[in-house]
Every structure is written in C-alpha cells, then in structure tokens.
Structure 1
Amino acid sequence: MATEESNNPAPAPPSLPQYPELILAAIEAVNDKNGLNKSAISKHIESTYGELPAAHSTLLSHHLNKMKQNGQLVMVKNNYMKPDPNAPPRRGRGRPPKPKVPLPPGTVIGPPRPRGRPPKPRDPLAPPPPPKKKAASAGSGRPRGRPPKLAKTTAAAPVAAPASGPPRGRGRPPKVKPAVAAPVGC
C-alpha cells in the first residue's frame, strides 16, 4: 500500500492568476489616489498569495513595464496607477503628423518632387553651356589637392661613402677641443 501512495503525485500548489491581473487587483485593493510603487505591489501580492515563484521580482518588473507601455498603467512619480478614463490619450514623442486631406476619386498622383534646389530656367535662345572639366579647378590649370610624393631614386641623389676609420658610435659625437700650440723656439 505504501508504494501505491508514493505513485500518486503530490497535490499541486494553487496556481497564481496572471501577473497583470495580480497587479491590477493590488492597485484596486489599496485604492490610493497616488498609486502604488513596485515594492508596495509586491508586498500586497505576497501577503495575499503567500508562496511566489523564485523569479517574482523579475516577472513583476517585466509585467509592470509591459503594462505601462501598453497604456494599462500610468506611472507618476515612481507610482503605478490605472489611467483616468476621461484623460486625453497620451501623445507620442515629436511633432504630430499633419492631417491628410482626402483626394477626390479619379485623381492621378504624379511623381514626388526631386530633392535639392531646382535648376535655374534656361534661355531657349542662348547657346548650350560648354562642357565642364573635372580635373581643373578654378582656372589655375593645376589639379586639386596635394601633389603625389616622388619616388626616391638612388641615381638622382648619390649617397656619400662614409670616411674610412672606426665606425661611429651612438649619440652625439663629443666636442672637439682645439689643440694648444707648443712654444716655438726651444
């Protein structure tokens, strides 16, 4: 008989309602005109339902943010409350779009205007303008920008051969002291 009792599953804990329902019930139960903050909502849910899942705070934060974005809750001074049904709908960021005027049926819409400044009107009797040169700038005859570096050639600048003698050491050479002349006449 003991084996039969162990095969039966343990009674399941009572399931919680969905988090949006829990949050709205907590706000309605307290009925504060300033609303409830996150910790007050959490405490009310814990006192009402007892055991909560391990990720309760994460789930609560997620559902509060989701409900705030959907417009089910309004956040004022870090407190959540139900939105006022008489309040005008919340406007999004930026300038609202202009209202579009409906066109009469059968109207053909042309292509949109191109970007940029429109070209100046041309005189029909004037000769066509000369073609533009891309390489020359404002009349100087030279191309724009810095000229390219010339490649170094060994024939153009011969390198002086080092003087024979010991190889030079590192750093600045020492100052040469003038030799003192010996007295002549001894």
Structure 2
Amino acid sequence: MATEESSNPPAQPPPAPSLPQYPEMIIAAIEALNDKNGSNKSAISKYIESTYSDLPAAHTTLLSHHLNKMKQSGDLALVKNNYMKPDPNAPPKRGRGRPPKPKVPLPPGTVLSPPRPRGRPPKPRDPFAPPAPPKKKAAPSGSGKPRGRPPKKAKVTAAPAPAAASASGAPRGRGRPPKVKPSVAAVGA
C-alpha cells in the first residue's frame, strides 16, 4: 500500500499562505502608485511582481480577471484605460438609453384600465349606415383555384414517340444535343 501512494504525485501544491488575495494586491498597488489619473494594468502588474515573489504562472490572466470583476462590481473605476478607486462623492453611473419616467403613486381605490391592444385602432362606424351582410367563409377565392404553386406531377413513363426516339432507341439525355458534323465530301476535279 505504501508503494502505491508514493507512486502517485500530488495533484497541485496549495497556494502560498503569505500571498494575499488578488483584490487586496490590486488595491495596494493602486494606493502605492498614487497616480492622480489612475494606474494602468501593466503598472499594477509590475508593482505586484516586484512586491510579491511567489506569484502563480497565470498571473496576467488572474490579474485581468480580477480587474474586470472589480470594475463590474464598482470597487474600481476605469477611466481612459487607467484603474482608480471610485470617488465616494461621485453620482452613480447611469446606464445607456433614456432613463425611465418616474412613476407617480396612484391614490388608493383607483381601478386601472386594461392596456391598449396592439395594432391600428378600427375605423369608427357610421351609426346610421345599414348593417353589413355577414361574410361567408366557404369560397376561399374568386377563381376557385387553391393559392400558391401547384405540386409537381409524378413522371409518367409512356411509350416514346417514333420521331422523338434516336436511332439507337435509347432515351435522350439532358441538355442540348451535340452538334453533328457533316461528312466531308470528296472534292472532284
């Protein structure tokens, strides 16, 4: 049993306990760089690499992932490709498009009417006009033919006409027949 356990290598060594989480390292790098316009990704990466020695092999991928995650959550603000801590006094960022109208609360006891139906409203009817005769749905159209292209007919194999058959009796192929070259007559003197 002891030999079987020693032959299997460990899956992955655990991360170094001295290394802090990426969001903490990113915030520390931005504070240490202390640029009024913010710090770009390469400056943050260089600072983290110079400060911490035991970084994983996928450091750049992890850094990009955590920067995007922190930007989405609002922990960081991205201005002209530079990351900075958001201003606590700044108004919240508005989304795209026109903002919705503020809804006025209705007084209690108000009954809402159903929403307007889709489509164009019908034309007003003349109250003095005679009632229209009921429509019949029996005839689909005036010509009596069904709509659309008719279905293809099945090929019927009939005896070929004597004029249409070639000399060998085989049916003709598709397309234009080849040009027949006239036989060359001997030119006599």
| Corresponding position of 2:99 | 96
Q: Identify unmatched segments of 5+ residues in structure 1.
A: 1-11
1:40 aligns with 2:43: yes
Q: Which moved more, 1:110-119 or 1:21-30?
A: 110-119
* Percentage identity across paired residues of the two chains: 71
DSSP-derived class of the 2:32 partner: helix
Q: What does the per-residue CA deviation read over 1:95-116, in whole Å, with 9 as the maximum and x for residues that have no partner?
A: 2111111111222223222111
Q: Which moved more, 1:65-74 or 1:86-95?
A: 86-95
Alpha-carbon RMSD across the aligned residues, in angstroms, is 3.3
DSSP-derived class of the 1:174 partner: coil
| Corresponding position of 1:21 | 24
| Corresponding position of 2:181 | 175
Seen in structure 2, the aligned counterparts of structure 1 residues 176 and 76 have a Cα distance that, compared at 3 Å, is same
1:72 aligns with 2:75: yes
User: How far apart are the structure 2 equivalents of 1:159 and 1:113?
Assistant: 68
Shift in Å at residue 85 of structure 1?
2.4
Q: Which moved more, 1:141-150 or 1:71-80?
A: 141-150
Higher Cα radius of gyration: 1
| Corresponding position of 1:83 | 86
Q: Identify unmatched segments of 5+ residues in structure 2.
A: 1-14
User: How far apart are the structure 2 equivalents of 1:116 and 1:57?
Assistant: 54
Residue correspondences, number:
166
1:131 aligns with 2:135: yes
Q: Which amino acid aligns with 1:135?
A: P
| Corresponding position of 1:31 | 34
Shift in Å at residue 166 of structure 1?
8.3
Shift in Å at residue 32 of structure 1?
0.3
Q: What does the per-residue CA deviation read over 1:150-177, in whole Å, with 9 as the maximum and x for residues that have no partner?
A: 444456xx52243555879996252335
Q: Please report the TM-score for the alignment, with normalisation by the length of structure 2.
A: 0.70
Shift in Å at residue 15 of structure 1?
2.5
